[in-house]
Structure 1
Amino acid sequence: MDRNSHNNNEIINVDEIRKQAGRSINEGAVTADYPLDREMACQLLNEALASEILCVLRYRHHQVIAKGINYPQVAAEFKEHAIEEEEHMMQLAERIDQLGGDPDMNPANITRLSATEYGSSSNDLVTLIREDLVAERVAIDVYRRLIEWFGQGDPTTRRLLEQILADEEEHATDLADLLVTVERKQLS
């Protein structure tokens, strides 16, 4: 029993952890042993944040301009996705803040930082759905790469990104299904 206690003390030195926590009290959630480059982590998360902001704007725009036979179904899908993208936006902004960064929500920087594009002002439902599907597919690829980068070094951010990725994959599936439905109705 003493042997296990001794090994635990070597692995987890509570006195040292307490001292370090007291010295770095102004750092919030970030501890001295955070293994990643915090500046790079915040930069990457700000790029994801910009993409989410742009997605919210694009989905809201598409929600308003959606016209045609499938208007209620398509507009409702755009609205649902916009709400979820806004949740992602706030989750990313809060995580950047927790890491000691500044969430960049400056409109002048959004399109420059975003991996996705805003899209067109087409009134064609197929075009709108395709633009959103392309954006979701870009987001999926970006989130997979971010998850790999954060890896085991920051499991909190990794889990957040994994949940956002799952939502983006669901959005892509919804849009792919919607695209087939709309294209079929346009052909009949």
Structure 2
Amino acid sequence: MNAHASTAKGAAGHQRLVLDEQAIGAAAKSLDEGAVTPSYGPWRDDVLKLLNDALATELVCVLRYKRHYFTANGVSSPKIAEEFLVHANAESGHADRIAERIVQLGGEPDFDPTHLLDRSHASYDESTELQAMVRANLVAERIAVETYRQMIALIGDKDPTTRRMLKDILSDEEEHADELKDWLGH
């Protein structure tokens, strides 16, 4: 339940869900804000920063996976390189979803390459050995999993749409980590 909805005692003594009519009325104003209603409160700027940092992380991951895709070599490299490309494309999709959400919230997605590494939670990697590439990507996926878990907890019910998107992305990142773990030692 958001901060504006409440419960009240009904005639039979049980809790009833009651909407905050004042918040609904306020939502009808400031049409230039699009989907962002006053109930987003003071958290919107914090959510935008979290999302821009996540965007940077996803973009760095795309670049790392692409480099590994093109430079992987060894007996197992064709199958692992193919997996790197699949992950790069998934991370690119995550970046697109995050950038779209930033815009929906009235923010500016920061794609500036000079800022990416400073804001990214994961590192870029220039490994040349296949298992080192797998390890570097597994580390980055584990960092992403932890980062998204923390973001989901921080956002809580302050922004249910962003929370739902982050849960979807978290599920993908967990799947990537499991797949990479399976490639260790091949």
Per-residue deviation, residues 61-91 of structure 1 (Å, max 9, x unmatched): 0000000101210111000000100000000
Mark the CA change 1:145 to 1:36 in structure 2 (over 3 Å): closer, same or farther: farther
Q: Flag as ranges the 4+ runs of structure 1 deviating above 6 A.
A: none
CA contact (8 A) 1:52 1:85 kept: yes
Q: CA deviation at 1:119?
A: 1.1
Aligned equivalents of 1:21, 1:11: Cα separation in 2: 13
CA contact (8 A) 2:23 2:39 kept: no
Q: CA deviation at 1:173?
A: 0.4
Equivalent residue for 2:3? none
Equivalent residue for 1:129? 134
Structure with the higher strand share, 1 or 2 = 2
Q: How many residues in Structure 1 have an aligned counterpart in Structure 2?
A: 174
Q: CA deviation at 1:16?
A: 6.8
Aligned equivalents of 2:20, 2:42: Cα separation in 1: 21
Q: 2:39 aligns with which of 30, 33, 36?
A: 33
Aligned equivalents of 2:160, 2:129: Cα separation in 1: 42
- 1:118 matched to 2:118? The reply is no
- 1:142 matched to 2:150? The reply is no
Aligned equivalents of 1:111, 1:141: Cα separation in 2: 18
Mark the CA change 1:22 to 1:35 in structure 2 (over 3 Å): closer, same or farther: closer
Equivalent residue for 2:104? 98
Q: Gaps spanning 5+ residues in structure 2: where?
A: 1-9
Give the letter for the 2:47 counterpart: A
RMSD of aligned C-alpha atoms? 2.0
Structure with the higher helix share, 1 or 2 = 1
Once the two structures are superposed, the pairs formed by residues 48-67 of structure 1 within 5 Å of their partners are: 48-67=54-73
Per-residue deviation, residues 119-160 of structure 1 (Å, max 9, x unmatched): 12x321000000000000111110000000111111111111
Q: Gaps spanning 5+ residues in structure 1: where?
A: 183-188
Q: 1:76 aligns with which of 82, 106, 119?
A: 82
Q: 2:170 aligns with which of 160, 165, 178?
A: 165
Q: 2:51 aligns with which of 13, 33, 45?
A: 45
Give the letter for the 1:86 counterpart: S
Give the letter for the 1:105 counterpart: F
Q: Percent identity?
A: 45
CA contact (8 A) 1:66 1:123 kept: yes
Aligned equivalents of 2:88, 2:119: Cα separation in 1: 19
Aligned equivalents of 2:23, 2:73: Cα separation in 1: 63
